[in-house]
Amino acid sequence: MKYLIIALMLLPLTAYAGHPTHIERVQNYAREIDKDPQMKVIVPDWVRILQTEKIISGRGKPTLDKLRMVNDRVNSKRLFALSPWMTPTQFYMTAEADCKAYATTKYYELRALGWKPEELNLWSGDYDGKPHLILTARLGDKVYVLDIMNQHLPEAKDYFYKHFVPSFRFNELGVDVN
């Protein structure tokens, strides 16, 4: 377990080489995260965010309009710089943020608008060869990508492997290493 935690902490820093076996396993990206109660979230900065800022579970109905609204509002803060992982409150109070802050803020906002945790995943991987974090949101039978690098809401099946190569995903329920 100790080595798995170390490996997960290093994954976002390691460039993805595109190993065919990995790609084959990741292609089924839409499966649900294991609901095993023993499963722990082992992305240390994410754990800190969850402990620092409470997630508000909304009761609204998820819609494509709400996805667009959140993506546009958060992406409108166009100042992009490498920064520590921050809470949504910190994101709105700072002048500089990176992909981690954008994705985390979108996650919190969608949860407040009615998305369930199993419908949202933060994905760590590579965007054009650089470490990157995105958010995916399930709406009906489609999974959409909310990413600072793309103002539109592409479907994950079109986005993955064209622009973004995933390594692992996580949410407040746990982590799924491919």
Whether 35 has a pLDDT exceeding 50, the answer reads no
Do strands 174-177 and 164-171 pair parallel, antiparallel, or not at all (unpaired)? antiparallel
Whether 81 has a pLDDT exceeding 50, the answer reads yes
User: 17 vs 24, 34, 66, CA distance in Å?
Assistant: 14, 26, 35
In contact, 113 and 60? CB cutoff 8 Å: yes
Whether 24 has a pLDDT exceeding 60, the answer reads no
Q: Report pTM.
A: 0.75
For the chain, give the longest Cα–Cα distance: 42
Whether 87 has a pLDDT exceeding 60, the answer reads yes
pLDDT band at 177, cuts 50/70/90?
Answer: low
Architecture in CATH of 2-177: Roll (3.10)
Which phi and psi angles does 131 have, rounded to 5°? -60, 140
Q: What is the pLDDT of residue 178?
A: 54
| DSSP label at residue 118 | G
Whether 88 has a pLDDT exceeding 50, the answer reads yes
